[in-house]
Structure 1
Amino acid sequence: MRTSLNITNKLNLISQMQGDSAFQILEYDQLNGSKNVDLAVQLNFMRESGVKLKQVRIILDDSSVRLESGALSYLKGDIEIHNKIGGPLGLGKKFLTSKVTGETMFKPTYSGTGEIFLEPSFGHYALIELEDDEIVVDDGLFYACEESVEVGAAMQKSISSMLLGNEGVFQTRLTGSGIVVLELPVPETEIFKCKLNKDVLKVDGNFAILRTGDIEFTVEKASKSIVGTATSGEGFLNVYRGTGEVWLVPTVSVYNELLRKGLSEISNPSGSYGKDEE
């Protein structure tokens, strides 16, 4: 297998996973190339804040991977690029899936031996290995996978989840065996990976970004009675039942509030402690 990239102290390997192809997440130590003073100040602030540029590298060894359209930065080696349309029926299926999930219509396949580098980003990534399994993820999370993994659409199974779940009628479904790259809204260290064993998880909000195929998703009232729902301060909850895993990103709401209101406005929790009495 070709591994000709020289990873120096300026480009660090922070995660990797090996299947038919090797998937690596690389991180730039720092960026120093700006000639613009304003941009240099921003880069210095990002460096002090720990914000680092990342890039996904995939090493093919007579193997194939499927990428999100537009994700490619550059490649080298004996690699062919092709799109499998599958005739009018296959084209119609791809069009329908792209419309209902929000994912791009075509996900090109790269086959051969060599190295692929995806677009660098300040975002966050996770590597997952499926073993004859199924996961349902939020739209926009899919980034790349081995060709053995099928990318499709999962329809919500209950009326409540369709109308009240804020997840849309369809989500992206990944099935099969192989490695998947997901683009995350927060670092993987901030994800709470909740394991269920014939159990129930209730979430106030739509910050569950992944669930395994054996988990049932519904939306239910917080309390069985109207009075109980009103007095609890909660309306409807997203409910996950079964055996499997659900990924939660509770810090997303904090980041969104920081962007909207600033630090001082969210320094107190939503409870009554610390608030002035009338």
Structure 2
Amino acid sequence: MGRNSILKMEGDNVTFEVLEYDYLRGSRDIGSALGLFYMREANIKLKQVKVILNNASVKLEAGALHFLKGNIEMDSKVGGMLGLGKKLFTSKVTGETVFKPVYRGSGEIHLEPSFGHYDMIKLNNEEIIVDDGLFYACEDSIEVGAAMQKNLSSAMLGNEGLFQTRLKGRGIVVLELPVPQDEIIKYTLNNETLKVDGSFAILRKGSIEFTVEKSSKSLISSATSGEGFLNVFRGTGEVWLAPTQSIYRKLAISGLYGMTNPGGSSNTKE
């Protein structure tokens, strides 16, 4: 069984790579063999993130480490009582784990294999706001923190919560996506407006203002249209959408039968 590189990005003495396994063939019973057969038919493959350090350091999601090789040490990097308090606050409001362990040195790090989906983005002294759970790994130069919604409507009606995860600095970030990479739509806005009926905008960067607004000017029109509130993104920057995310949720809950009358999201999570 081999692994093939499907995505690679190099930073400052750090290389991130997404490896994809060939089909798994190690089943010892009929039940798991059938499962693997259907996975092969559906082209579902196991993936694993690999990190190569050359006298450098990387920050990981807690619990992501699978194994490592070389002269590499782990540092929880609490930063004293002030740092601990900041991490506890960020964890509480974003849902992210408290500690992002830092591994420094030279060698290879392999993260936990999964059937998930990954993408990478390189930040150049900028920041991105992402949904909870998207952060997976980054260069140590990236700061992982919390971004507060700027108005009450965004927090109460946008299904995103009062806080989201902010990634800021210069370096590479690895994201664990809710859908395959080629199903992500990346919109570049140039002093424009993007309106989304649902909570499937997973990332934004640049000078983008996020608000929640009625789909029409009157409450009666909103009620009769069946749309209710929309997530609105205004400004200049980039917004990532995962429009197929709700489809996978519906399939997991009700199977193909639930897709015969898909209806609308009405700005609610499935």
Name the TM-score, length of structure 1 as normaliser. Answer: 0.92
User: Counterparts of 1:227-238 in structure 2 under 5 Å?
Assistant: 227-238=220-231
2:23 equivalent in structure 1: 30
Post-superposition shift, 1:40? 1.2
Q: Could you say what secondary structure the match of 1:100 adopts?
A: helix
Aligned length: 263
SS across alignment from 1:15: strand
Secondary structure of the corresponding residue to residue 214 of structure 1: strand
Shift of 1:268: 4.8
Q: Distance in 2 between matches of 1:160 and 1:60?
A: 43
| 8 Å Cα contact 1:212-1:245 kept in structure 2 | yes
Q: Deviations over 1:182-238 (max 9, x none)?
A: 001100100011111000000001011101142110000011112221222210000
Match for residue 142 of structure 1? Answer: 135
Q: Does 1:200 align with 2:193?
A: yes
C-alpha separation in 1, matches of 2:53 and 2:258:
49
Measure the CA separation in 1 of the matches of 2:251 and 2:82.
46
Q: 2:2 aligns with which of 7, 10, 13?
A: 10
TM superposition shift of 1:248 = 0.6
Matches within 5 A, 1:1-278: 10-20=2-12, 21-268=14-261, 270=263
Residue 84 of structure 1 and its aligned partner are, at CA, apart by 1.2
| 1-structure distance, mates of 2:48, 2:262 | 36
Deviations 1:238-267 (A, max 9, x none): 000110111111101111122222224423
Cα distance in 1 for partners of 2:65, 2:206 equals 29
2:197, 2:162 → 1: CA distance? 19
Whether the 8 Å CA contact 1:148–1:176 is kept in 2: the answer is: yes
Question: CA 1:67 to 1:265, structure 2 compared with 1: closer, same or farther past 3 Å?
Answer: closer
Unpaired segments ≥5 residues, structure 1 = 1-8, 272-278
Report the residue type matching 1:247 in the other structure.
W
State the AA in 2 paired with 1:14.
I
Larger radius of gyration: 1
Report the CA distance between 1:162 and its aligned residue.
1.0
Which structure 2 residue ranges, 5 or more long, are not aligned? Answer: 265-270
Contact 1:142 1:183 in 2 (8 A): yes
Distance 1:263 1:91 in 2: 46
Structure 2: how far apart are the matches of 1:83 and 1:213?
30
C-alpha distance in 2, partners of 1:269/1:97? 36
Residues 77-107 of structure 1 deviation map (CA, whole Å, 9 limit, x = unaligned): 0111111111111111111111101011011
Letter in 2 for 1:191: I
- Offset from partner CA, 1:48-83 (integer Å, 9 cap, x none): 110000000000011110000100000000111111
CA drift of 1:37 comes to: 1.8
State the identity as a percent: 65
Instruction: Give the letter for the 1:107 counterpart.
Output: K
Q: Which string of whole-angstrom CA distances, capped at 9 and with x for unpartnered residues, describes residues 154-184 of structure 1?
A: 0000110011111010000000010000001
TM-score under structure 2 length normalisation? 0.95
- Determine helix, strand or coil for the equivalent of 1:95: helix
Root-mean-square deviation (CA, aligned residues, Å) is 1.2
